[in-house]
Amino acid sequence: MQAWMCFGISDDHPVSSFMDQLIINAQHKNMLVIDSMREIFKSHPQIWNNESYRKSAICILTRMGTNDLLYEAPVTNMSWSLCSAMTVVVLEHYNGTSDIDLVMSSPIVRTKWRALNPFVSSCRRDALKFYRKINV
């Protein structure tokens, strides 16, 4: 049983497949978020084209990212928390375009990503504040 079941999403649901691919990309392939978003944009168009699915994914990522920040060791959770937060930003600002690079390079997405980057300015408190402001 996948973790998504606690969110009322079955294994065959498109959001479950999206989340599985995101975790595989982040944890097993060590892909950068930008590369992962490009791959997932192509392989999961139903998520990007369905507002309800995007909101479900945002909700799951918000909970997972927050829990990682609150309950896991700092060394492992900042990378997953950052990945999930950056993915949330892209999902929130997706505008129906056929080019995900336009979304990722938009000023608002780049500004939010920069604010979340632990090497630039972010810390655990900033990441928690980010998740607190998510409207699902």
- pLDDT, tens only, 48-87: 999 999 999 999 998 888 887 777 655 444 577 788 889 9
The mean pLDDT value of the chain amounts to: 82
**What pLDDT sits at residue 135?**
67
Q: Is the full-model pTM beyond 0.95?
A: no
Alpha helix (H) residue ranges in the chain: 14-23, 33-43, 45-48, 51-71, 74-93, 100-104, 107-116, 124-132
**What pLDDT sits at residue 75?**
47
Q: Name the pLDDT band for 2 (thresholds 50, 70, 90).
A: very low
30, pLDDT greater than 90: no
Q: What percent of the chain has pLDDT over 90?
A: 44
Q: Higher model confidence: residue 125 or residue 44?
A: 44
Helix axes of 107-116 and 124-132: crossing angle, nearest 10 degrees: 140
Q: What percent of the chain has pLDDT over 70?
A: 82
Distances (CA, A) of 99 to 1, 28, 50, 130: 34, 26, 16, 26
